[in-house]
Structure 1
Amino acid sequence: MYEATHTRSHEVLRTTPEQHLGHLDSLAGQVSFLQYPSWGAVKAGWKAERLGWFDDSGRQCGAAQVLYRQLPGTRRYFAYLPEGPVVDWADPRLSQMLQPLLEYLRSAGAFAVRMGPPLPYRRWGAEKLKASVGAGRRVGDVLPDLVDPVGATVADRLREAGWQRCGEEGSPGDAQPRYLFEVPLAGRSLEDLWAGMNQEWRRNIKKAAKAGVEPCVASADYLPDFHRLLQLTERRDGFRLGRSLNYFRGQYRELNAEEPGRMRLYLAWHGGEVLAAHTMIVAGRRTWYQTGASADHRRDVRPSNALQWRMLRDAHALGAAVYDMRGVPNTLDPQERAFGLMRWKLGTGGQVVETLGEWELPLDGAVNKTLHRAMQTYLTRR
């Protein structure tokens, strides 16, 4: 449909979902599930396309799943690469690597592109952040334990090439969380994981076991129970995902059709009732705690702590290198409501990771900048 685009020794071509999946699987690493073909099938309202970088010998050396959103009333598209593309970000020829992608997207009718380089930028251990809690404090105020040199270099290169980091200079913020919470699993025993938790977490897990809470993996038949608890959780905690039961059914169907066990539903039973339900996603050597929900009553038996310990143990048994608990707020202020989520995750003894975040680039000209602003307004209103 579109011509291949080139950069010296590389070209960008459309690939099939099977080719794309095969390349991701060959990396045996920590590629985001948002870059898997199944996620493109989940996103209603977006058109998914898979692209690959190929060298002169025909070897694939990069991949990107692009989601296109059409601007109403036009034939132009906003192109989005969630937690992608999957390329060698340390390559000093990064700008040259990205150029054929941008040319391809222009030829496909895209007026702007947003991508999320899957790179860490800064890391903080749980103990340091717990010691830094205070009024008005933010994670960014604390000296990090590690600044990733690749992430810092890539940020500089993107700015030099005209990319703008989302959330800066009045632009819309990231669609995916910039601050993640990760529990490292590689090289650690279950005893290490247990010892890494704080006393409150260990006490709550023991309390749940003593009370008879039973964590288990359930089938899609129990997604209505999960969704009912999610609606309760949204009302209680003051947020709204806006996801229907059918959305989660479709997600479960598509992810598990691609690879059995890619999406798992965990339930915590107590007294014949489901008190908590969490979802976990498995891809490569990474697992994600995606969405959690719990009942308003019998919280004293700590069903969510019991579920997380079961999920951590399962991730460890699967050989995952990282258990990703997804987003956390930037706040360390105990007076802010959002700090409760941060405090809960810190108790696992993991790390807060600031990613490089998402970056946007209008694709040529004042007209496209106008379309870009129109799409930003449209997405914000949605």
Structure 2
Amino acid sequence: MLQVCGPPGTAAYAEDDALTMTTHQRPQVPAPAGERTELRLGVIPGEVHAAYLRRPGAHPASFLQTPAWARVKTGWRAESLGWFDADRRMVGSALVLYRRLPGVRRFFAYLPEGPGADWADPQLERWLDPLLGHLAATGAFAVRMGPPLAYRRWSARTLKDAAGPGRRVGDILPDMVEPLGAAVADRLRESGWRRCGEDGQGGDAQPRLVFEVPLAGRGLDDLWTGLNQEWRRNVKKASKSGVWTGVEGPRTLPGFHQLLRVTERRDGFALGRDLDYYRRQYAELNAEQPGRMRLYTARHQGELLAAHTLLTAPDGSRVWYQTGASADHRREVRPSNALQWRMLRDALTAGAAVYDMRGVPDDLDPAARAHGLLRWKLGTGGEAVETVGEWELPLQGAVNKALHRAMHTYLTRR
């Protein structure tokens, strides 16, 4: 395994003893208060990375930052990295995906919804500088990352009241601006990072605007009353109609995928993912941590009418409603509402703090087709959250900047 930018003399990595790094270095003397203390970056085995993410106190990680996700993605070379403090304790982690630019032996480095670092650290450069040095040494010409931080928030009520022709979420004064997200965005921009999409090129690969239902400190009654009247009516109708909801195994993935194709045709989008992709996702995520991915289903008179995938963070603090599919017929029995209500209840019972419904369109025009998905999710009583988004940086050197421009041209043509 390639070891770049790791502490000299690294012999092994231990999963126990607080994930300390075993080295032959002399212990470092802590720096005086106010001085910069260096962090060391090293390549770590995937099993150590996965164990760290489950440890109490680890920085919360998206499913996109797990070693298992690297095995889901084909066409990318993956690497797990860990940051270590002066006491050789692992204090942060990252999953880096490398994509080779056609025709050259250089790579584009991507950290989806990562890295898992201390973004509140006033010495943020001690996290990013070793990372950039490591990526440059591996042959990367540019890096894209997505700090897992919220930037602005809008309540369901605010967006419902603001809906109108030609209006978009970004036009509306948010209910909250997250200080940390705003500060990190400013610091990245000052350091030369470019927010994806700001110049009309290279938009985010992951959704910047997501929808979240807060669960922390709430009970089942709070969750129920948080639904709007239409949602409560539809959930009751599903129950009276005899809609059954539950969790099924991988044998139902073909049925889920057939419904997904129906949904794509009906709603005018195409994810472009075949059945093998979902089979691989189910197998790899659950092999790393049983129950990481679950397939929820809704049936009426035995027929599969809706199927949704739910992913759980390694520490259980967040769950994601990732992909939803439903049939064109028997929609009057409201299987998707029943299914989401079941998933919300299970997430609450499991102790998750956030139910993340992933991306939503920013269109607030009731006449627009895209507004339908946002309106449906608004009915849960949650909030739209704009993250700080994805940021790119060409690594130093004229050649790297030229390759970075070439990459964007290549992706645009694709």
Kindly tell me: are residues 201 and 266 of structure 1, through their superposed partners in 2, closer, same or farther at Cα, counting changes over 3 Å? same
Do structure 1's residue 277 and structure 2's residue 307 form an aligned pair? Answer: yes
* CA RMSD after TM alignment: 1.3
2:318 and 2:369 mapped to 1: Cα distance? 29
Match for residue 53 of structure 2 among 6, 10, 24:
24
2:127 and 2:348 mapped to 1: Cα distance? 35
1:139 and 1:209 mapped to 2: Cα distance? 34
Task: Give the Å deviation of 1:371.
Answer: 1.1
- 1:334 aligns to what? 366
Task: Give the Å deviation of 1:28.
Answer: 6.0
Match for residue 264 of structure 2 among 234, 249, 259:
234
- 1:3 aligns to what? 4
2:59 and 2:182 mapped to 1: Cα distance? 21
- 1:353 aligns to what? 385
- 1:258 aligns to what? 288
Tell me if structure 2 keeps the 8 A contact 1:2–1:107.
no
What's the CA shift string for 1:2-44, capped at 9, x where partnerless? 4326885211100111111122112366421111111111000
Unaligned runs of 5+ in 1: none
Q: Percent identity?
A: 66
Q: Looking at CA atoms only, which structure, 1 or 2, has the larger radius of gyration?
A: 2
Task: Give the Å deviation of 1:60.
Answer: 1.1
Task: Give the Å deviation of 1:377.
Answer: 3.0
Taking the TM superposition and a 5 Å limit, the aligned residue runs for 1:362-373 are 362-373=394-405
Taking the TM superposition and a 5 Å limit, the aligned residue runs for 1:1-382 are 1-4=2-5, 8-26=37-55, 27=57, 30-283=60-313, 284=315, 285-382=317-414
Task: Give the Å deviation of 1:271.
Answer: 1.9
* Number of residue equivalences: 382
2:198 and 2:372 mapped to 1: Cα distance? 26
1:99 and 1:219 mapped to 2: Cα distance? 44
- 2:18 aligns to what? none
TM-score, normalising length from structure 1?
0.98
TM-score, normalising length from structure 2?
0.90
Unaligned runs of 5+ in 2: 8-35
1:354 alignment partner, SS class: strand
After TM superposition, the runs of 4+ consecutive aligned structure 1 residues lying more than 6 A away are none
2:384 and 2:266 mapped to 1: Cα distance? 25
What's the CA shift string for 1:184-229, capped at 9, x where partnerless? 0111001100000000000000001111110110010000000000
1:164 and 1:115 mapped to 2: Cα distance? 11
2:266 and 2:413 mapped to 1: Cα distance? 24
Tell me if structure 1 keeps the 8 A contact 2:144–2:392.
yes
Return the letter of the residue paired with 1:104: H
1:244 and 1:48 mapped to 2: Cα distance? 22
1:106 alignment partner, SS class: helix
Kindly tell me: are residues 229 and 18 of structure 1, through their superposed partners in 2, closer, same or farther at Cα, counting changes over 3 Å? same
Tell me if structure 2 keeps the 8 A contact 1:34–1:83.
yes
Moved more, 303-312 or 67-76: 67-76
1:49 alignment partner, SS class: strand
